[in-house]
A and B are shown apart, each in its own frame.
Chain A
Amino acid sequence: MQPPTGPALAPAPGSSPGPAPGSPLLRWQWREVQAPCLVAGWILVASLAKIVFQLSRKVTSVVPESCLLILLGLGLGGIVLAIAKRAEYQLEPSLFFLFLLPPIVLDSGYFMPSRLFFDNLGAILTYAVIGTLWNSFTTGAALWGVKQAGLMDKGVEAGLMDFLLFGSLISAVDPVAVLAVFEEVHINETLFIIVFGESLLNDAVTVVLYKVFNSFVEMGPAHVQATDYLKGVASFFVVSLGGAAVGLLFAFLLALITRFTKRVRIIEPLFVFLLAYMAYLAAEMVSLSSILAVTFCGICCKKYVEANISRKSRTTVKYTMKTLASSSETVIFMFLGISAVDTSKWAWDTALVLGTLLFILLFRAVGVILQTWVLNCFRLTPLDRIDQVVMSYGGLRGAVAFALVILLDGAKVRAKDYFVATTIVVVFFTVLVQGLTIKPLVKWLKVKRSDHHKPTLNEELHEHAFDHILAAVEDVVGHHGYRYWRDKWEQFDKRYLSQLLMRKSAYRLKDEIWDVYCKLNIRDAISFVDQGGHVLSASRLTLPSMPSRTSMSESSVTNLLRESGSGACLDLQVIDTVRSRRDKEDAVMHHVLCGSLYKPRRRYKASYSRHFISPSTQERQDKEIFQQNMKRRLETFKSTKHNVRSAKSKARLKKDGRKKQKKSVANTELPNGKPPRSVNWQQTAAVLVAVDSDSEESDSSETEKEDDEGIVFIARAADEILQGKKASGSLDICPSPRIIPPSPTSAEKELPWKGDRGDLAVYISSETTKIVPVDMQTAWKQSISSLESVASPPGAEPGPHAKTVAGPVLDEGPKLERQMMPEQRICFQFPNPLLRSSRPQSDSSLERTEQPELQPLMALDEHGRMSTSAGPSNSRWLIQFNRPTRFSDG
């Protein structure tokens, strides 16, 4: 950013200006650190400024951050100017293009909503290509007209070519500015993607026009021949398609590389950044459109990369990208402000400045209206007037234009100083004035805002169905539209690309509906855990989310665990999961879960001293509960048995080969740790273990987690568990303070709720977790009682083979409550294992209160499943009870 950077980057060893004689204690080595120090300093200043801006909500809600940053830059530049008497710093084009721009473009490409982008690709391309061409030529020509009319100063020595050159650089909408402003405006997605997509894709046009006109100017208009024009046209295709191709190539490489990073998880994010950056540099090297390259690289690699890399890496990529982009953006705007102070480069011409401002606004509006008119003939949902206004007005110019104008060769383009001044004014005007006013404008015009709501399973599912329906209808109509091609592409992707670029495990598990399902579960889990942190609210708040997870198969539990990372939860989960319908699987799951137990415990041990005070009574209470639970389990055992058995036998009988395999696998799993093959959920189970463990361990386990053979891992996990148990055996004894709080409180909470019983509405989404419906509470209460569970699963979780199980048979009440149980148990039980070893103590009143409650509930539960047949005892329970001993033995 600052001129001295170049030379200072390679510090000469002897150059430090320390005093020559003797060997001084300290030496002043400013020169050696100057460059990086200045860079870091500026970034720091910019970031600090952001903090300051955010201090006042009032200001930031009205003034976009970009405006504030530019103003700050102006101020800082002024100070520097006042002190140093000359403008020290300014936005260096080379730095801008090589370092500041790529992160922003990568960020926007990578997080571009690809579906939306491709849905509107036609419109985006039109505006980006035709629109930019139109803007450049009309603006340039009109300015030339003004010059011809003699309105401009004589000093502006520029011909038609110079004006066209200027027009080309000033007419391109700037992605950085657009993003900065529009992100705060929250217009609807379609509008946003069109404006923003345009600003990204017009880079190719801008680059080509700029280069072509620049060469024309350098050659001198007289020497330009027809072939040069043709070359210009051809170079447009080369530059844009070439840029996109480079991006695609690197996206492909990146996806391919991440497929094999299983053992080097830690550097996965690095590959993403490096290859994207390489794409940028490669495109730049051969003078293709580098912005296009990075954009396409980001858009295209995302699907495969996200599937391949680990969860942690995904988070890392996300945050690093956002951090880089955000700091680049900050620095860019600040330096725009600082650069503007440098008056030595200014040459003011009122007619030129006003003319440019007028023309870019006018021609953009005209261009948008004309293009929209054409596009609306083809668009399913036409862009209306208001959209057009926003699009015209949202055409912000920014740092790209500024950097390009600085790059002009002053010797060849003699009006450069005028152009620089005009560009600065234009950039400032668009960013400050338009940026400031666009929000009120959008509000005033009542532009449809985006409503950001979390995806729901229903939406995902039904929208999928819509897609299929529409594709089918198009087929029937015989008109192959966009959907037809998307269909084709998806099939191609599924058949070849995904297989090539995704890990087998990732590929197998890949399904969008399933993804959404997992995401929802994770979200619930997060909120659950978050709330778990607050002792008081924990029990209450988690309630609503429970039903959602209800039918909760292993996956949801998995997710819960994965996110929670708290030993407490894990513990509960252990008990919890065991109770699910597929007893055998559960046993295995249980196993795995236990494996993940020991580490968290260790953690608790660490924090043990801190929270030492609280435990005793609560702990004891938990212990009591646990004992009761166990007792109860035995009591209800008979009734449960039946259900469990039926589920089990059903599962066994299932024709589905895979399932059979799974079951049998699960069967064998516990005893001899024989690895089952290719069982989906086992993989997930493996994930659990991996995620919760800490760094190194997690590394090793994580590498495994996406392995194709989940089995191997599981067996191993079990081993690990046992070993871990050994290691952490002593930990059992230490009470974990963090764990304990929720359960007692939950017990307390429970009391007041007793009374209400409404209709049992089911709340699913995480938002609702915040509101605890009264009915939930009752349900929750009941579920607590049914903790013991009675193996709710057959009813609650009829599974795919639902035909036989048909939920409707059961009345809602019990069913619901059963569904909730998993969660409930979580709150309640997790402490158990810990408590098991804790010292016994006298009764607490809390506990007593609990007992009566449990009793009736239990009764209720049994009601629910009336089929009580005393059958042979279930292996499940055995497992359940055995395990603790096993582990402690181990």
Chain B
Amino acid sequence: MGSRASSLLRDEEIEEIKKETGFSHSQITRLYSRFTSLDKGENGTLSREDFQRIPELAINPLGDRIINAFFPEGEDQVNFRGFMRTLAHFRPIEDNEKSKDQNGPEPLNSRSNKLHFAFRLYDLDKDDKISRDELLQVLRMMVGVNISDEQLGSIADRTIQEADQDGDSAISFTEFVKVLEKVDVEQKMSIRFLH
């Protein structure tokens, strides 16, 4: 399958993806084969249904949010480029990347991009703020039914107060970054892609 996948992928396309995402050649072909295997419609793009077919995602509390994150604003399909662009957020930051490319465009897997990805999962209305409602929704997804709404509400309130600096009762991205500054995001938002 790997060979088939790579044959479908033009070399220049691979090069572009490589440049954009930082994945290696073999990672790209490997992920392309995964992409095609997910692509039941065989039209070179993935739809939401394709993602929803992944059994584990169905039981992931944030599964739907994450699926949505793969799709560009207002679109129902995602092509391989977009697919890779999203995945690139989770590429670990390698040592040699830390120093180079200071002036180039920020790599997709930078700390702030990783954080922004997470932030967008909360921020449904895309106003660059996590409101109390948005926070509550995510909280509700993540905690069991054991926690009552009141308890959840107080958690949400407190969470917002913790992070809120400008007193707008919402968490802006800056505040989000600030409140997580002690967290090793680079590690906690990275997975190992097979080489």
CA distance A381 to B188 in the complex (A): 10
* Residue from A381, A457, A555, A816 in contact with B162 in the complex, judged by beta carbons closer than 8 Å: A457
* Residue from A468, A681, A799, A801 in contact with B62 in the complex, judged by beta carbons closer than 8 Å: A468
CA distance A304 to B80 in the complex (A): 45
* Residue from A472, A517, A547 in contact with B63 in the complex, judged by beta carbons closer than 8 Å: A472
B179/A473 in contact, CB under 8 A: no
Q: Is the interface of A mostly helix, strand, loop or mixed?
A: helix
B157 within 8 A of A: yes
Residues of B within 8 A of A507 (CB): 146
Q: Is the interface of B mostly helix, strand, loop or mixed?
A: helix
Residues of B within 8 A of A483 (CB): 191
A463/B154 in contact, CB under 8 A: no
B169/A808 in contact, CB under 8 A: yes
- The contact size tier of chain B is 35 or more
B151 within 8 A of A: yes
User: Using an 8 Å CB-CB cutoff, how does the interface string of B144-178 with A read, 1 for contact, 0 for none?
Assistant: 10111111111111110111111111000000100
Residues of A within 8 A of B56 (CB): 471-472, 475, 484, 487
B153/A797 in contact, CB under 8 A: yes
A349 within 8 A of B: no
Residues of B within 8 A of A508 (CB): 146
A481/B191 in contact, CB under 8 A: yes
* B193 CB, nearest partner CB in chain A, Å: 7
* Residue from A463, A470, A487, A802 in contact with B153 in the complex, judged by beta carbons closer than 8 Å: A802
CA distance A126 to B43 in the complex (A): 45
A729 within 8 A of B: no
Residues of A within 8 A of B150 (CB): 553-554, 582, 681, 799-800
A477/B191 in contact, CB under 8 A: yes
B162/A765 in contact, CB under 8 A: yes
Residues of B within 8 A of A760 (CB): 167
Given A378-B192, A553-B153, A798-B153, answer yes or no on A511-B133 (Cβ-Cβ < 8 Å).
Answer: no
Residues of B within 8 A of A461 (CB): 139, 142, 155, 159
B192/A473 in contact, CB under 8 A: no
B154/A548 in contact, CB under 8 A: no
User: Using an 8 Å CB-CB cutoff, how does the interface string of B38-55 with A read, 1 for contact, 0 for none?
Assistant: 100000000000010010
A469/B118 in contact, CB under 8 A: yes
A256 within 8 A of B: no
Report the nearest A residue to B66, measured CB to CB.
Answer: A472
* Residue from A453, A471, A759 in contact with B182 in the complex, judged by beta carbons closer than 8 Å: A453
Residues of B within 8 A of A761 (CB): 165, 167
Number of A residues near B (Cβ < 8 Å) is 82
* B5 CB, nearest partner CB in chain A, Å: 13
CA distance A422 to B95 in the complex (A): 42
Residues of A within 8 A of B34 (CB): 477-478
User: Using an 8 Å CB-CB cutoff, how does the interface string of B92-119 with A read, 1 for contact, 0 for none?
Assistant: 1001000000000000000000000110
A473/B87 in contact, CB under 8 A: yes
A535 within 8 A of B: no
Which of A468, A473, A552, A681 is the most central at the interface, judged by chain B CB atoms within 10 Å of its CB? A473
Given A472-B62, A659-B149, answer yes or no on A800-B136 (Cβ-Cβ < 8 Å).
Answer: yes
CA distance A764 to B179 in the complex (A): 12
* Residue from B147, B149, B157 in contact with A514 in the complex, judged by beta carbons closer than 8 Å: B147
Given A802-B133, A812-B169, answer yes or no on A463-B151 (Cβ-Cβ < 8 Å).
Answer: no
* Residue from B51, B60, B146, B194 in contact with A468 in the complex, judged by beta carbons closer than 8 Å: B60
Residues of A within 8 A of B51 (CB): 476
B192/A380 in contact, CB under 8 A: yes
* B106 CB, nearest partner CB in chain A, Å: 20
A323 within 8 A of B: no
* B180 CB, nearest partner CB in chain A, Å: 6
A520/B158 in contact, CB under 8 A: yes
B191/A464 in contact, CB under 8 A: no
B151/A458 in contact, CB under 8 A: no
B9 within 8 A of A: no
Residues of A within 8 A of B14 (CB): none
* B163 CB, nearest partner CB in chain A, Å: 5
User: Using an 8 Å CB-CB cutoff, how does the interface string of A16-50 with B read, 1 for contact, 0 for none?
Assistant: 00000000000000000000000000000000000
A797/B163 in contact, CB under 8 A: no
B138 within 8 A of A: yes
Residues of A within 8 A of B158 (CB): 457, 517, 520, 548-551, 764
Which of A473, A476, A662 is the most central at the interface, judged by chain B CB atoms within 10 Å of its CB? A476
Report the nearest B residue to A803, measured CB to CB.
Answer: B133
CA distance A513 to B153 in the complex (A): 12
Residues of A within 8 A of B8 (CB): none
Residues of A within 8 A of B182 (CB): 451, 453, 459
Residues of B within 8 A of A467 (CB): 188
Residues of B within 8 A of A468 (CB): 60-62, 66, 142
CA distance A444 to B83 in the complex (A): 45
B187 within 8 A of A: yes
Residues of B within 8 A of A550 (CB): 157-158, 161
Given A459-B180, A465-B138; 9 other pairs, CB 8 A cutoff: A381-B184, A459-B183, A469-B62, A471-B56, A473-B90, A487-B56, A551-B157, A762-B162, A801-B149
Which 5 A-B pairs give the minimum distances between C-beta atoms? Answer: A800-B149, A551-B157, A799-B153, A475-B56, A472-B66
